[in-house]
Amino acid sequence: MVTLESLVPSDHLLRKIDAVIDFSFIHERVAGLYCADNGRPALDPTLMFKALFIGYLFGIRSERQLVREIEVNVAYRWFLRLKLTDKVFDASTLSQNRRRRYQDVSVAQDIFDHIVEQAIGHGLVDGTVLYTDSTHLKANANKNKWDKEVIVKSRSAYWEALDLAIEEDRAAHAKKPLKAKERVPAEKESKVSRTDPQSGYMVRDGKPKGFFYLDHRTVDEKLGIITDTHTTPATVHDSIPYLERLDRQRQRFDLDVKAVGLDAGYATAGIAKGLEDREILGVTGYRRLPHRKGFLPKRNYHYEADIDAYRCPEGQLLPYATTDRHGYRHYRSDPDKCRSCPLLASCTSNAKHQKTVTRHVWQDARERTDAHRLTDWGKALYKR
C-alpha cells in the first residue's frame, strides 16, 4: 500500500505552510461571486487560489505549465487535496476566472491580509522592524507601440502637509503666500502604451527601457514574511506610496513599528519627516547626489543653521531668497561678488553670475534620518 501522505517529504515547504495556514476562509470570502443554484458546478475557489499560490511559490509563471506540474507532482496534489486518480482542472479555468469573476482587486487584498493575520497569530510576524523596496515587473506590452499623452504627476500622501509647511516657512521669512493655482499637481508629457495603458514607461539608469510596473513590497524582519505588496506604474517614484502603505499595515494588523529599513530610492525629505511624525526610526540606503560634470558638488556649500544661509567655498554667504511651491528654499549669492570669483566657471553657468542653492523645508529631518545609518543599530539594519 502506498499513500499520497507517505510520498510527500516531511520537510517539504508545502507541509510547513499547510500546518499553519488555514485556507478555508477563501470559500466564504468569495461566496458572493458564485451562483448557488444555476449553471455547472464551479471549481472550488479554495483549490484554485491554492494552485495559484503553488505557481507563485515555485516560480511557475505559465498557468498551462502549472496544471501540467500539478498532474505529475504528488506534493502539489497533496496540498490541493487531489487524489492520484483525480483529474486536474483545465488551465483555461484559471484564466477565465481571473478575467471574469475576480476583477475586484479587494478579493486578492483580503485574502492576502487574512493570511498575514494568521501568520501574526502563529508568531511568524513581529512587526517591530519592516524592510521595504520595489522591483520592476515587465508589462506584457510592446515598447514600440505608444502614444504621447499629457498626464498628471503622481502626488505623495504628504502633499497637504507639505503645502502647510511651505506656507509656514514663507510666513516665517515674511514672504507672501503662494497662490492656490500655483500648487496644483504638475503635468507632464509621457509615453502611454496602446496595449496596456495602466503600465508606465520606465527610464532609469542601469534598468531596461520599456513599459513596466513596480511591485512595492514590505517584509517583516523576524522571518521575512511579506506584510504588504502594492503595484504601481513604473513612472511612480518609490517614495510616493510608501507612507500610505506603511500606515495601512500599522492600522490593519495593529503593528507597533519601531524602525524601518529602506532602499536609497526612499531617501527623501518627505519620508524622513513622515517617519519622525510617526516616531519611527528610519535607515535609508546611501546615494550620492548627481551633479554637473565640471561644476562644484552641492556638498561644497556649507549650510549655517544659526543664520539660515549657505557659505560657498570662497567664503561668500548665500542668504535666503524664497521658498518655491515644491517645498525648496532658495539661497542666492551676490552676483557683484561672483563676477570676480576665481571659482565662477565651476560654480554656476547663470547668465547673471548668480549661484542658487536649494534646501528642502524638511531637510533637517532628512539629515537626522541619514545620521541613523552611522549608528551601531543603523549599520545592522542597513547591512541586512
Give 92-136 pLDDT, tens digit per residue.
988 888 888 888 778 989 999 999 999 999 999 999 999 999 999
Contact between 267 and 284 (Cβ < 8 Å): yes
pTM (predicted TM-score): 0.85
The proportion of the chain whose per-residue pLDDT surpasses 70, expressed as a percent, equals 96
**Mean pLDDT for all residues in the chain:** 90
pLDDT (tens digit, 9 = 90+) per residue, 305-328? 999 999 999 999 999 999 998 899
pLDDT band for position 185 (50/70/90)?
Answer: low
pLDDT on residue 302: 95
pLDDT (tens digit, 9 = 90+) per residue, 350-378? 999 999 999 999 999 999 999 999 999 99
What distance in Å separates the CA atoms of residue 272 and residue 368, rounded to the nearest whole number?
A: 8
180-189, 193-202, 250-259, range with the lowest pLDDT: 180-189
pLDDT at 182 over 70: no
pLDDT on residue 68: 96
- Find how far residue 251's CA is from the centre of its chain: 18
What distance in Å separates the CA atoms of residue 107 and residue 111, rounded to the nearest whole number?
A: 6
Residue 66, number of CB atoms within 10 A of its CB: 21
pLDDT at 37 over 80: no
Mean pLDDT, to the nearest integer, of 15-31? 90
pLDDT on residue 159: 79
**Residue 221 vs residues 82, 97, 103: alpha-carbon distances, Å:** 35, 35, 32
> φ and ψ at 132, to 5 degrees?
-135, 140
pLDDT on residue 292: 83
Mean pLDDT, to the nearest integer, of 53-68? 94
Cell 561678488 locates to: 337
Classify burial at 234, counting beta carbons within 10 Å of its beta carbon; exposed 0-12, middle 13-18, buried 19 or more.
buried
Mean pLDDT, to the nearest integer, of 4-13? 90
Contact between 284 and 298 (Cβ < 8 Å): no
Query: 3-state DSSP call for residue 211?
Result: strand
> φ and ψ at 381, to 5 degrees?
-65, -45
pLDDT (tens digit, 9 = 90+) per residue, 142-181? 888 888 887 766 667 777 888 889 999 999 999 988 876 5
CA 326, 328, 334, 335 dihedral sign is: negative
CA 326, 328, 329, 333 dihedral sign is: negative
pLDDT at 184 over 60: no
